[in-house]
Amino acid sequence: DGGITQSPKYLFRKEGQNVTLSCEQNLNHDAMYWYRQDPGQGLRLIYYSQIVNDFQKGDIAEGYSVSREKKESFPLTVTSAQKNPTAFYLCASTKDRDSQETQYFGPGTRLLVL
Amino acid sequence: AQSVTQLDSQVPVFEEAPVELRCNYSSSVSVYLFWYVQYPNQGLQLLLKYLSGSTLVKSINGFEAEFNKSQTSFHLRKPSVHISDTAEYFCAVSGTGFQKLVFGTGTRLLVSP
């Protein structure tokens, strides 16, 4: 089955720790996205990548980093600089860069701070 | 830049009743409009989208939305809801070409027996 997988489902972070959220897709999509979801705020774009080895900051990139070394993978690192990381993180992908394309979402990772 | 307003954070409704979830957008350019649905602790799924052509678009599970350019709205409607429609619904907008999706804050639809 084609789709997007995110792991882990739950992730706990200690103070000062960097953590990495995994996102993998086997849809052969070029573009991938990371969103953060907080209650009552909808989804906010963290980073996006239109093609391998290229990515751009979204609206709330501070405290986060990404890489796109392979077409199917777009990991997100939440660094210690992100002071309020508790949220639901969603990864998405589209076939290409055209904004009319449907975004397909993974099941999400819930990040909690210990 | 685009923006989306979903004024209703929560809409309670009885099973088999009609429902309307409101969405208004702001944009200075032509737009694409989307409704996504999110079930608890899951990712989002596309419900329907307007790209061009007929202003009334429909989903396979009975939802429909109408693009109204003069009122800058894209309200979602269903004539008779089911318990299984309980979820959070997000309206989203993008410009044409490669532009990021901008999401509204979501409306939680609560269907009770």
pLDDT tier, A1 (very low <50, low <70, confident <90, very high otherwise): low
Task: Return d(Cα B37, Cα A65) in angstroms, integer.
Answer: 28
Q: Is the pLDDT of residue B63 over 70?
A: yes
In total, the C-beta contacts within 8 angstroms joining chain A to chain B are 61
Mean pLDDT of chain A: 93
From A111, A50, A40, select the one nearest B9 (Cα to Cα): A40
Which of B46, B51, B105 is facing A42, going by the closest CB pair? Answer: B105
pLDDT tier, B8 (very low <50, low <70, confident <90, very high otherwise): very high
Mean pLDDT of chain B: 93
The burial of A84, by beta-carbon neighbours within 10 Å (0-12 exposed, 13-18 middle, 19 or more buried), is given as exposed
Q: What is the per-residue pLDDT across B75-94, written as a single tens digit (0 to 9) for each? A: 999 999 999 999 999 999 98
B32 min Cα distance to partner chain A (Å): 7
Using a CB-CB cut-off of 8 Å, the residues of chain B touching A92 are: 43-44
Q: Is the pLDDT of residue A99 over 80?
A: no
A 10 A CB-CB count for B39 gives 12
The pLDDT > 90 percentage for chain B reads: 79
A96 min Cα distance to partner chain B (Å): 9
Give the pLDDT of residue A97. Answer: 76
Q: What is the per-residue pLDDT across B101-113, written as a single tens digit (0 to 9) for each? A: 899 999 999 999 9
Q: What is the per-residue pLDDT across B22-51, written as a single tens digit (0 to 9) for each? A: 999 998 888 899 999 999 888 899 999 999
Please name the residue of chain B whose CA is at the shortest distance from the CA of residue A5: B43
Q: Is the pLDDT of residue B9 over 70?
A: yes
Q: What is the per-residue pLDDT across A40-75, written as a single tens digit (0 to 9) for each? A: 888 999 999 999 999 999 999 999 999 999 999 999
Using a CB-CB cut-off of 8 Å, the residues of chain A touching B42 are: 107-108
Test A103 with B97 for CB contact under 8 angstroms: no
Using a CB-CB cut-off of 8 Å, the residues of chain B touching A43 are: 44, 90, 103
Cα A13 → chain centroid: 16
From A20, A26, A73, select the one nearest A49 (Cα to Cα): A73
In the beta sheet, which residues pair with residue A91?
A: A34
Q: Is the pLDDT of residue A81 over 70?
A: yes
Which of B9, B96, B100 is facing A48, going by the closest CB pair? Answer: B100
Using a CB-CB cut-off of 8 Å, the residues of chain B touching A107 are: 41-43
Task: Return d(Cα A52, Cα B65) in angstroms, integer.
Answer: 35
Give the pLDDT of residue B30. Answer: 85
Q: How far does chain B reach from its first CA to its final CA, in angstroms?
A: 41
Test B90 with A103 for CB contact under 8 angstroms: no
Q: What is the per-residue pLDDT across A2-35, written as a single tens digit (0 to 9) for each? A: 799 999 999 998 888 999 999 999 999 999 999 9
DSSP type of residue A102? P
A 10 A CB-CB count for B44 gives 28
Q: Is the pLDDT of residue A106 over 90?
A: yes
Q: What is the per-residue pLDDT across B46-61, written as a single tens digit (0 to 9) for each? A: 999 999 889 999 998 9
